[in-house]
Structure 1
Amino acid sequence: MQTQKLSVFEKIGFGAGDMAVNVVISSMMLIITFFYTDIFGLKPVDIAILFLVVRLVDAVTDPLMGLITDRYTSRWGRYRPYFLFLAVPFGIAVFLTFSTPDWDYNSKLVWAYATYILVTVIFTAVTIPYISIIGVLTADPKERLSANGYRLFFAKIAAFLVTIIVPIMAKSWGGDDLASGYQAAMGLMAIMATLLFLFCFFSTTERIHYQPDTLPLRSQFKLLLKNDQWLVLCAVCVTGTIGYVIRGSVAAYYAKYYLGGGAELMSAFLSTGVAAAILAMVASTWITKRYCKVRLFRYSQLLVAVLSVLLFVLVEPGDIWLAFVLYFLLSFVVDLHAPVFWSAIAESVDYGAVKTGKRVSGLAFGGISFCQKAGMGIAGFMVGILLAFFGYEPDTSQTSFALTGIALMLSIIPGFFHFVMGLLMYRYRITDQFYQQLLSTQQIPTQPPVAAPKHYQRSV
Structure 2
Amino acid sequence: MQDQKLSVIEKLGYGAGDMAVNVVISSMMLIITFFYTDVYGLKPQDVALLFILVRMIDAVADPLMGTITDRRTTRWGRYRPYFLIMAVPFGISVFLTFTTPDLSYNLKLVWAYATYLLVMLVFTAVTIPYISLIGVLTADPQERLSANGYRLFFAKVAAFLVTIAVPQLAAVWGRTSSLAAGYKWAMGLMGLMATLLFLFCFFSTTERIQHQVDRKPLREQWRLLLRNDQWLVLAAVCVVGTIGYVIRGSVAAYYAKYYLHGDAAMMSAFMATGVTAAILAMVASTWITKAYCKIKLFRYSQLLVGVLSMLMYVLVKPGDITLAFVLYFLISFVVDLHAPVFWSAIAEAVDYGHARMGKRVSGLAFGGISFCQKAGMGIAGAIVGWLLAGFNYVPDRPQSSFTLTGIALMLTIIPGAFHVLMGGLMYRYRITDDYYQQLKKQIVEETPASADAQPAIAARTTECLS
TM-score normalised over the length of structure 2: 0.96
C-alpha displacement of 1:441: 4.3
% same residue: 76
Contact kept? 2:391, 2:403, Cα under 8 Å:
yes
C-alpha displacement of 1:373: 0.5
Offset from partner CA, 1:278-326 (integer Å, 9 cap, x none):
0000000000000000000000000000000001000000000000000
Name the amino acid aligned to 2:27: S
Correspondence for 2:446:
none
Offset from partner CA, 1:155-190 (integer Å, 9 cap, x none):
000000000111111001102610000001001100
Contact kept? 1:437, 1:445, Cα under 8 Å:
no
Correspondence for 1:428:
429
Correspondence for 2:139:
139
| Root mean square deviation of aligned Cα | 1.3
Contact kept? 2:245, 2:415, Cα under 8 Å:
yes
Distance in 2, Cα, partners of 1:207 & 1:59: 29
Contact kept? 2:239, 2:376, Cα under 8 Å:
yes
Please, which moves more after superposition, 163-172 or 50-59?
50-59
Distance in 1, Cα, partners of 2:346 & 2:202: 22
Correspondence for 1:64:
64
C-alpha displacement of 1:56: 2.3
Name the amino acid aligned to 1:73: T
| Structure 1 stretches of 4+ moved >2 Å | 440-445, 447-451
Offset from partner CA, 1:213-262 (integer Å, 9 cap, x none):
11111100000011000000000000000000000000000000000001
Correspondence for 2:77:
77
Alignment of 1:244-393 (within 5 A): 244-393=245-394
Distance in 2, Cα, partners of 1:281 & 1:59: 27
Name the amino acid aligned to 2:361: V
Distance in 1, Cα, partners of 2:64 & 2:254: 36
Name the amino acid aligned to 1:189: M
Please, which moves more after superposition, 79-88 or 438-447?
438-447
Distance in 1, Cα, partners of 2:3 & 2:287: 23
Correspondence for 1:236:
237
Q: How many pairs align? A: 455
C-alpha displacement of 1:445: 3.8
C-alpha displacement of 1:357: 1.0
TM-score normalised over the length of structure 1: 0.97
* Structure 2 unmatched runs, 5+: 444-448
Assess, with a 3 A threshold, how the Cα gap between structure 1 residues 245 and 445 changes in structure 2: closer, same or farther. same
Distance in 1, Cα, partners of 2:192 & 2:264: 23
* Structure 1 unmatched runs, 5+: none
Contact kept? 1:156, 1:278, Cα under 8 Å:
yes
Contact kept? 1:128, 1:369, Cα under 8 Å:
yes
C-alpha displacement of 1:193: 0.3
Offset from partner CA, 1:20-55 (integer Å, 9 cap, x none):
000000000000000000001100111111111112
Correspondence for 2:462:
451
Assess, with a 3 A threshold, how the Cα gap between structure 1 residues 449 and 316 changes in structure 2: closer, same or farther. farther
Is the partner of 1:417 in helix, strand or coil? helix
Contact kept? 2:434, 2:461, Cα under 8 Å:
no
Distance in 2, Cα, partners of 1:226 & 1:58: 25
Is the partner of 2:254 in helix, strand or coil? helix
C-alpha displacement of 1:392: 0.2
C-alpha displacement of 1:60: 2.2
Alignment of 1:113-152 (within 5 A): 113-152=113-152
Assess, with a 3 A threshold, how the Cα gap between structure 1 residues 380 and 100 changes in structure 2: closer, same or farther. same
Is the partner of 1:395 in helix, strand or coil? coil
C-alpha displacement of 1:440: 2.6
Contact kept? 2:95, 2:187, Cα under 8 Å:
yes
